[in-house]
Each structure stands twice: as structure tokens, then as C-alpha cells.
Amino acid sequence: MIQSTENFQTILLPILRRYLKEYGQKEIHKYFFEILDETKTKFQKKFSDKNGQKWRNESGKMLELLIIYFIQNEVKKLGYEITTDDEVRRAKDGILEEVGYNIILKYGEYYVLPDGDIIIFDPRSSDVKAIISCKASLRERFAQTLYWKLKLSLNARTQYIKMYFITVDKEWNKNKTGFKKPALDIRDDKEPTKPRILLEYEMDGVYVTRYFANETDKVKMFDKFIRDLKEILK
């Protein structure tokens, strides 16, 4: 079981429970942006974070733990376990060290673990089944995710590993000047954005944690994730 942080427990979790009470389990995935936005406000007030630097360092972990909160029990029911790339990097022995060996990539004399926030593995064999990259914004290094997907797919030892991208796609949400340019939506009969094209073509699945009208077989709302994951884990 992955240990959540104190900030997740004391700041985000009470907000999440309020949204769950109001909207229910089936609709909660549409409100991840609002949950994280409220969490940001409370976090910045608690830590006197006027310039947002502390929150920028914290926000990625908050999103990662939010995703884990909703998927880890379902993953365990399927006979698999969840870990994070940080836990794998810290592992000195045992099953998590073996998980690291199963995804590590060689660059000349160097060995590098790919960046992937959440790792799903078989506890009986340490085989890695899927890697999940979580990003609040499509501007947040999505190209790095595409790079690691490509490197894993070109390696005979890791090519079977599925790689998923989960995002709030926060550019979609309204700001003071109106809606920002959406990264994954296709609007007004315009061409899809470059991130949409690349992620849809390269990743095994892309999941959006908000209302999303432009679903395809590869890009869809987060509520479809567990259903799709069951297909590759069964």
C-alpha cells in the first residue's frame, strides 16, 4: 500500500470527500481540476506560498496520489500491485528492486529508469504491466512521456509494457480572460493540437479527468481507465 503524504491527508482528502458526497463516485472524475484548485488555495494559505513555488513542487505528487486513491484497490482486486518511480529508485532490495530491473534502460555504460509516476506490476513475478504518467497540464513535459514510451517500445525486454497518460488538461478550464486553448479538445471543426495528435498516436491510452466530449478509442474520460486496464491485466 502506497503511503500518502500528510498534505494529501489533511488538505486534499477532506475536499475530495466533500466532492464525493455531492457528486458521487460515478461523476467525481469530472471534478479533479476543482479539487486540485481548492487544494492549491488551502496549501498556499497554510504554507504562506504567495508566489506558488511550494505548490509547484507539491502539485505533481498531489495529482499522483489522487489517481492512486481511485485505482489502487481495483488494481489489487485484479491481483496486481502499484508503486511509484520514486519508491523504485529508493529500493535497495526485494520486489521493488526487481521491478526496477524490469524497466531499466541502458545507455552505453549507464542505466536509467524511465520517468513514470505510477507503475503497475505483478507481485508474483515483478513483471511490469503498465506505467502511468500523470500531468496536470499538457505543457508539463508531455514530450518526455512520449520519449519514454518510444524507448520502452524499442527495447525487446520492455516493449510489452503499456504506457498511459492521465491529465487534468487544465488549459481547458476557464480563467480571467475566458477559456484557455484546450490541449486535447477538438473545437469548431479545427485541426487537433499537436499534443492531441502525438499522444493519441503514440500512447496506449490517454485519459482526461474532466468532462470531455471528444472521446475516441485512445483518448477518453478517466472513468474508462479501470475498464480498459482490466483488459490488459486479465
pLDDT digits (tens, 9 = 90+) for 24-35: 998 999 899 899
Nearest CA-CA partner of 80 in 132, 134, 124: 124
> Which amino acid is residue 2, in one-letter code?
I
pLDDT band at 222 (very low <50, low <70, confident <90, very high): very high
pLDDT digits (tens, 9 = 90+) for 162-178: 999 999 876 654 544 55
Confidence check: pLDDT of 137 > 60: yes
pLDDT band at 189 (very low <50, low <70, confident <90, very high): low
Q: What is the pLDDT of residue 185?
A: 72
pLDDT digits (tens, 9 = 90+) for 4-31: 899 999 999 999 999 999 999 989 998 9
Of 115-124, 178-187, 196-205, 223-232, the poorest mean pLDDT is in 178-187
Among 3.40.30, 3.30.565, 3.40.50, 3.40.91, what is the CATH number of 6-233? 3.40.91
Confidence check: pLDDT of 194 > 90: no
Q: Convert the chain into a string of H (helix), E (strand) and C (coil).
A: CCCCCHHHHHHHHHHHHHHHHHHCCCCHHHEHHHHHHHHHHHHHHHCCCCCCHHHHHHHHHHHHHHHHHHHHHHHHHCCCEEEEHHHHHHCCCHHHHHHHHHHCEEECCEEECCCCCEEEECCCCCCEEEEEEEECCCCCCHHHHHHHHHHHHHCCCCCCCEEEEEECCHHHCEECCEECCCCCCCCCCCCCCHHHHHHHHHCCEEEECECCCCCCCCEEEHHHHHHHHHHHHC
Cα–Cα distance, 33 to 166 (Å, whole number)? 13
pLDDT digits (tens, 9 = 90+) for 52-102: 899 988 988 999 999 999 999 999 999 999 999 999 999 988 999 999 999
pLDDT band at 180 (very low <50, low <70, confident <90, very high): low
Highest mean pLDDT among 122-126, 136-140, 188-192: 122-126
**Mean pLDDT for the chain?**
88
Q: What is the pLDDT of residue 176?
A: 47
Q: What is the pLDDT of residue 142?
A: 84
Q: How much of the chain, in percent, has pLDDT values that exceed 90?
A: 67
Give the cell for residue 68: 492512486
